[in-house]
Structures are given as C-alpha cells and as structure tokens.
C-alpha cells in the first residue's frame, strides 16, 4: 500500500446546477441565494478527479458536514479496440 500513499485524488460533491445570465450573477452580493435543480433530500453525486464515482447523502458528524456513500457506480466499459474491428 506504500505506493498508493503518494496518489492525490480530487474529491468534489455536486450539489446541483442552474442557469443564469452573467449580469444577474454579477449583481449578487453576500448572502445571495442561488436556487439549484436539486431537492434537499435528493442523493448527490461524488466526483473523483472529475468523474462521477458514487451517489452520496449529506450527513452531520458532530459539528462537521460529511457525506455518506449510498451507491458506488460501476466502472465505465472501455471498448476493446480488437472487438471494434
């Protein structure tokens, strides 16, 4: 496992998305609220290095906010070049 100790993985949780004009974004100030397309109780997506890897739920662990893995996505199937011929 020592070889895995030096590998960095960028983890991010996608909360949702929305569309808005740049002029509206520029008018926002501190405390502004942006509505997303996600319900509060909906599972979120965990990304590792930009790739979706799991569905998660937000949980509270004491004073910390954390995520609990609900479902791990399967690996994407890579087409074998020999099969494509």
**Residue 23 included in any domain:** yes
Q: CB of 44 within 8 A of CB of 15?
A: yes
Q: pTM for this one?
A: 0.67
Q: What is the pLDDT of residue 1?
A: 59
pLDDT higher than threshold 60 for residue 54? yes
- Asked whether residue 83 is assigned to any structural domain, the reply reads no
| 85 assigned to some structural domain | no
**How many domains does the chain divide into?**
1
84 domain residue, yes or no = no
More confident residue, 35 or 80: 35
- DSSP for 13-33 reads EE-------HHHHHH--TT--
For residue 46, the domain's CATH number is: 2.30.330.10
H-helix or E-strand spanning residue 74: none
Which tens digits make up the pLDDT trace of 17-41? 899 999 999 999 999 999 988 887 8
Say how far apart CA 46 and CA 62 lie, in whole Å.
21
64 occurs within a structural domain: yes
């Amino acid at each position: 496992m020592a070889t895995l100790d030096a590998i960095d993985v960028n983890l991010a949780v996608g909360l949702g998305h929305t569309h808005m004009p740049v002029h509206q974004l520029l008018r926002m100030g501190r405390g502004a609220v942006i509505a997303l397309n996600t319900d509060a109780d909906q599972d979120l997506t965990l990304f590792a290095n930009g790739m979706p890897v799991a569905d998660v739920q937000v949980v509270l662990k004491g004073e910390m906010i954390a995520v609990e893995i609900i479902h791990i996505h399967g690996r994407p199937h890579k087409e074998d070049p020999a099969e494509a011929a």
